[in-house]
C-alpha cells in the first residue's frame, strides 16, 4: 500500500529492497522500515554539490510511508569533506556553477537557491522518522551540517567534526547552526564555529554532539543495534513522542503538559477506542 503510494508519487520506492544510484553522488536503499542514504564519492571524500542537496530533497519528498528510520552514511574513510571545493574555482562544478557565478545573481535569487539546498536537510527531522548519521573520519562544513541535520549521531572513534565555513569566509547555511547551538550551547557553538577547529570523538561525546562513540569497525553494527531498539517501540507512539520532544523547548511547562495530554488522549482513543 505504502509502496504503491510512493510509486504513484514518482518516488524512489519502485524497487524498494534494492539499492539505487541517485544523482549527486548518492546511493539510496529502502529495506522495509529502514532507508539508507549513502554519500558515495569516497575518492573525493564524499564532497557535496547542489546536485547532492537536490537529490537529498527528492528522497525526502518521495520517502516511502513505511520508513521509520533513515540512516545517512558515507562510503570510504570520511563521512563527508563538505562542499565540493570546485565551487571556489572560476570553472565551478560542471552544470552547477561556482561561487563566482553565484555572486553575479541578485541576493534574492541566491537566497532562493540556498533555501532549495536546505530542503535536502530539513526533512530529516520529520516526526514520522528517526534519522541517524553514521559518521566516520572527516565531517567538515556541509558534512558536519548533514550530520547535525539528523536526530542522532553515532560516530567512529576517528571522527573529526569541523565547521570550516568561517575559515573560508562563509557562514554555515545548511541548517546546521540551530541544532549545533541546541546540542552544545551557544558558547561552545561559537568556539567550534569561529575557530573552525576539529572536534574529536571524545569531545563530541562529552558535549553532546554524539550519542555514541564506537571503534571504526563497529560503526555499522552499532547503527544496526540502534535501529533494532528504535523499531521495538510502537510506531505511532514514537511519532507522537518525537513531536512532543521537538516542541518542548518552545513551550512553557504548562503548554508542554497540555500538549502531552492532547497526544495521550489521541493515543488512548487509537489503542482502546
Cα(227)–Cα(244) distance, integer angstroms = 21
Tell me if 159 contacts ligand ACO by CB under 6 A: no
Q: Report the nearest approach of ligand ACO to the CB of residue 169 (Å).
A: 10
Position 171 contacts ligand ACO (CB under 6 A): no
When asked if residue 84 is in the footprint of ligand ACO (CB under 6 A), the reply is: yes
CB-nearer residue toward ligand ACO: 170 or 268: 170
Least separation in angstroms between CB 110 and ligand ACO: 14
Q: Is 151 in the site for ligand ACO (CB under 6 A)?
A: no
Determine if 175 is a binding residue for ligand ACO (CB under 6 A). Answer: no
- Is residue 24 a contact point for ligand ACO (CB under 6 A)? no
In the complex, minimum distance from the CB of residue 43 to ligand ACO, in angstroms, rounded to a whole number? 6
Q: What is d(CA 114, CA 77) in angstroms, rounded to the nearest whole number?
A: 28
Among 12-20, 21-29, 163-171, 239-247, the segment contacting ligand ACO (CB under 6 A) = 163-171
Query: Minimal distance in Å, beta carbon 6 to ligand ACO?
Result: 31
* Of residues 141 and 179, the one with the C-beta less far from ligand ACO: 141
Confirm or reject binding of residue 47 to ligand ACO (CB under 6 A): yes
Q: Which residues bind ligand ACO (CB under 6 A)?
A: 44-45, 47, 78, 81-85, 138, 140-142, 164-165, 168, 170
Amino acid at each position: 500500500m505504502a509502496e504503491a503510494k510512493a510509486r504513484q508519487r514518482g518516488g524512489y520506492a519502485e524497487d524498494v529492497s534494492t539499492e539505487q544510484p541517485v544523482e549527486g553522488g548518492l546511493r539510496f536503499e529502502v529495506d522495509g522500515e529502514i532507508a539508507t542514504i549513502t554519500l558515495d564519492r569516497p575518492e573525493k571524500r564524499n564532497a557535496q554539490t547542489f546536485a547532492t542537496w537536490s537529490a537529498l530533497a527528492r528522497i525526502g519528498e518521495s520517502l516511502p510511508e513505511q520508513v521509520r528510520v533513515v540512516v545517512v552514511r558515507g562510503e570510504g574513510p570520511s563521512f563527508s569533506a563538505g562542499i565540493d571545493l570546485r565551487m571556489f574555482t572560476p570553472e565551478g562544478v560542471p552544470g552547477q556553477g561556482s561561487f563566482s557565478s553565484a555572486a553575479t545573481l541578485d541576493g534574492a535569487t541566491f537566497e532562493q537557491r540556498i533555501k532549495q539546498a536546505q530542503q535536502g536537510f530539513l526533512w530529516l527531522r520529520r516526526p514520522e522518522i528517526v534519522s541517524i548519521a553514521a559518521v566516520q573520519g572527516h565531517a567538515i562544513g556541509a558534512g558536519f551540517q548533514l550530520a547535525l541535520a539528523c536526530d542522532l549521531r553515532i560516530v567512529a572513534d576517528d571522527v573529526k567534526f569541523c565547521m570550516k565555513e568561517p575559515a573560508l569566509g562563509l557562514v554555515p547555511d545548511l541548517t546546521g547552526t540551530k541544532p549545533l547551538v541546541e546540542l552544545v550551547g551557544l558558547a561552545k557553538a561559537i568556539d567550534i564555529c569561529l575557530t573552525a577547529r576539529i572536534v574529536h570523538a571524545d569531545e563530541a561525546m562529552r558535549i553532546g554532539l554524539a550519542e555514541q562513540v564506537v571503534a571504526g569497525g563497529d560503526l555499522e553494527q552499532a547503527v544496526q543495534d540502534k535501529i533494532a531498539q528504535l523499531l521495538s517501540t510502537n510506531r505511532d507512539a514514537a511519532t507522537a513522542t518525537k513531536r512532543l520532544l521537538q516542541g518542548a523547548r518552545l513551550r512553557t511547562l504548562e503548554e508542554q503538559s497540555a500538549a502531552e495530554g492532547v497526544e495521550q488522549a489521541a493515543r488512548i482513543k487509537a489503542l482502546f477506542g
